[in-house]
Chains A and B, each alone.
Chain A
């Protein structure tokens, strides 16, 4: 309006005698930003996930407050826990005082015991908390990559992928594909392209391993439920299977969730199945259940086993989505192969539990 220039005028400069100037684009060393960071002491000394967390500290705390909207229920739970803890403490103190009063040795013995017990308890809670936070890191990374993808930015992708790579760089089988990724990631690539390339070249290896875990658990569950005669045993086994699988998948993706983390993941997966997975359920589920009912007619138990296996498989696939540091950008892994594997398994009639 006021005639002020809103653009930057072109500039031409002579190339100053900088140390190394490549004569051509091909000869120029590709700026392998990620590998520089790998030698850093932070990466080599600190456990991988912690290093990632350190990098993503600020973002994490931001999103932690965002998720801290538990409402009345959380408040109630917190107060209840607080009440329980203070009651226990009070009880313990009263009990110890009684013991001290009755005899010196008794008091000493029980105090020691209490101290050891609470020490152990605190370590357990601390570890569980740390592991839970590690799991959050994956979510934070995924949220950030969502942003990078949708906003089509430039220059944010590499630092983000550097953090993701920290999760896997110590695995032997990942060294080659990480190396090839660094080699192929040209400096002209936009963030979205970089993430796509990483997803394709590096995470696909991790995905394949996670998928194997899902297939293994699903087929094992299908066979076991199919042959167990007791309903309650089935249910127990089913829950235990799920938790075990969720934990294994999270480990494949670079987190080591404790019991609490696994439960949260499981809840997330089931919620995912109810919400986002509903379309998937409708699309594949109708066809599958048609197939299932035929199978059920033929052999009731096998049909039930197949359904259970597929259910576990769905939870597994949802967990994969919840644990993957980048979102699936192409096609997310589907049920088709799992279904085939299950049918093969049931057809053979033998378990490959490992």
Chain B
């Protein structure tokens, strides 16, 4: 109706004002939580979010979430997927992801490489005196934002100039395995004519640099790879924004307006402004709660370089978090992250008695960034969990020793095996103790549910994660 009247623009303005007002009201009433889920390098993000939504949609008092207080105390009054608030972000397709997991012959959902979002409305009976007087049931809107962890690695670039950033990259290329992997790209740079930029050559240089990053990621599982969009380009693939690479310091004379250096620098700055800063402003700075997923088992099996790389990556990411306790006024103006959860995922790949060691190991790795966050008033917790459990622990005698095996169907096979994947050390092994045969972690097929329609997916400690992330908002 409003479309046909001359006051249409006014109506739209009012509508949008009303929408904003409602959103602000929700924020002020503490009814929205923006939960950012991120992880480095295939740490099981999509499965985690899918499982989280699945558990929330199927939550009942006896549905296996004993540590999620709102559900176990029977105050939970249902939840559903809602229309997402941001129209310019693609939707997290829960229905598509849950389908392969719950079919007769289950399979893992395909991995995603873009920013996506899903909104859940959770109804619950509040415990607070005032809240209870106002209404018998409150609603909490939970926005879960999924974004590639690789993009996080761009955040430290915001503070660096092109020259500083280049110097950092070349510094890291001094050490193995980057040294060998980057040889081809560095050789090209040495032979390049720097004074006059040639588009084809620029593309070749950036192509080789991208290739180097991809090899670091795929062959060695390294995490600290900048710029993040080079490995996960999303919609920017092939644009000039992604056609640059670090350059060595080449002196004033070869930095003319037409030179390779100046063009690369220009693109670097454009990348910072148009990609990194925009992501930071539009999404990152609006998160309330953050969960960082880490595949420790993979890092453990890859060796010490991988481990230290991951630690550096984590530290540099977490330096950029906008932490702080969120009071009412500041929540309206600039919501801040006040809870941070580090999670070692896929913990079902080892026996239950190893979980504690895994958690200790995780504690050691995130010690420094977690400490910084705690100092800024953020509540930090570490946990070893499994979004979807594919194995169970079986104790067997083997070679005169009682060992805890995991029993499950390894990925790509169709028969169950018993696997003792090696013992998780309590602390980081020294480089010389890091034997290639020490660990044998395997991926497993998802569990086959007896009654996929009614049953909920088995998990490990997902309820404790929910309690930490949402417990206070659901009280």
> A residues engaging B (CB < 8 A)?
5-15, 21-28, 152, 154-155, 180, 183-190, 193, 196-197, 200-201
Q: Which residues of B have CB within 8 Å of A186?
A: 64, 460
Interface contact B356-A197, CB-CB below 8 Å: no
9 examples of A-B residue contacts, CB within 8 angstroms: A8-B422, A8-B423, A14-B415, A21-B416, A27-B448, A154-B355, A154-B356, A155-B353, A184-B66
Q: Which residues of B have CB within 8 Å of A24?
A: 390, 447-450, 458
Cα distance A24–B459 when bound, in Å? 12
Interface contact B396-A10, CB-CB below 8 Å: no
Interface contact B448-A197, CB-CB below 8 Å: no
Interface contact A13-B398, CB-CB below 8 Å: yes
Q: Which residues of B have CB within 8 Å of A193?
A: 67, 464
Q: Which residues of A have CB within 8 Å of B449?
A: 24, 26-27
**Chain A residue at minimum C-beta to C-beta distance from B429:** A7
Cα distance A319–B66 when bound, in Å? 28
Q: Which residues of A have CB within 8 Å of B40?
A: none
CB distance from B69 to the nearest CB of A (A): 8
Interface contact B458-A13, CB-CB below 8 Å: no
Interface contact A197-B67, CB-CB below 8 Å: yes
B50 CB-CB contact with A under 8 Å: no
Interface contact A154-B352, CB-CB below 8 Å: yes
> B residues engaging A (CB < 8 A)?
62, 64, 66-67, 72, 348, 352-353, 355-356, 389-393, 396, 398, 401, 403, 405, 407-408, 415-423, 425, 433, 435, 437-440, 447-450, 455, 457-458, 460-461, 464
**Chain A residue at minimum C-beta to C-beta distance from B449:** A26
Cα distance A190–B398 when bound, in Å? 24
- How would you classify the secondary structure of chain A's contact residues: helix, strand, loop or mixed? loop
Q: Which residues of B have CB within 8 Å of A201?
A: 66, 72
**Chain A residue at minimum C-beta to C-beta distance from B388:** A25
Q: Which residues of A have CB within 8 Å of B464?
A: 193
A7 and B392 in contact (CB under 8 A), knowing A14-B417, A188-B355? Answer: no
Q: Which residues of B have CB within 8 Å of A154?
A: 352-353, 355-356
A187 and B423 in contact (CB under 8 A), knowing A8-B403, A12-B417, A13-B405? Answer: no
Cα distance A24–B419 when bound, in Å? 15
Cα distance A39–B438 when bound, in Å? 43
Q: Which residues of B have CB within 8 Å of A11?
A: 398, 403, 405, 419-420
A26 and B423 in contact (CB under 8 A), knowing A10-B439, A197-B66, A201-B66? Answer: no
Q: Which residues of B have CB within 8 Å of A187?
A: 352, 392-393
- Known: A8-B401, A11-B403; 13 extra A-B contacts, CB below 8 A, are A9-B437, A10-B438, A11-B405, A13-B417, A15-B407, A23-B448, A25-B389, A154-B353, A184-B62, A188-B348, A193-B67, A197-B66, A197-B67
